Structure 1
């Protein structure tokens, strides 16, 4: 009537209990004796930037920002340039023929 447990069942239960205990204790171990400054990423980021390991990334971001601003400035001038081109085309098309200049 009773089911005999195999070593695999025991190992499965041991792994399940260990992982459950670990998952439930993570918030406790993160917040016990913790100050708000422990969760502030700015000092670590400052050390990372000062080390020089992200200089290429910072240059790439600055270049992308400059390119985006240049593209936006060009896009703002598109309607004006199109209007000037259309006005010039209309002036060329509406010019009187050679017989009107006599």
Structure 2
């Protein structure tokens, strides 16, 4: 054995790890297993629910989807045009 003594920082890190691991494991248990329906914050749930079901979000997502498809088609067409302009068919004179 080398006679290495542990510093105060090493002891603090070890104790912090020893307390942190059981705490991290118990959080999902207390949130999901031992939860009662009254324990959840209802105002936050209703605000998020209203935001998800709103017409504005639907319109935003629809426009995002349209823009995504437009960009995809533009990139496909640009790649096809680049291939047509940079290659020559077999037997063509260059």
Structure ID, larger Rg? 1
Using structure 2 for the length normalisation, give the TM-score: 0.39
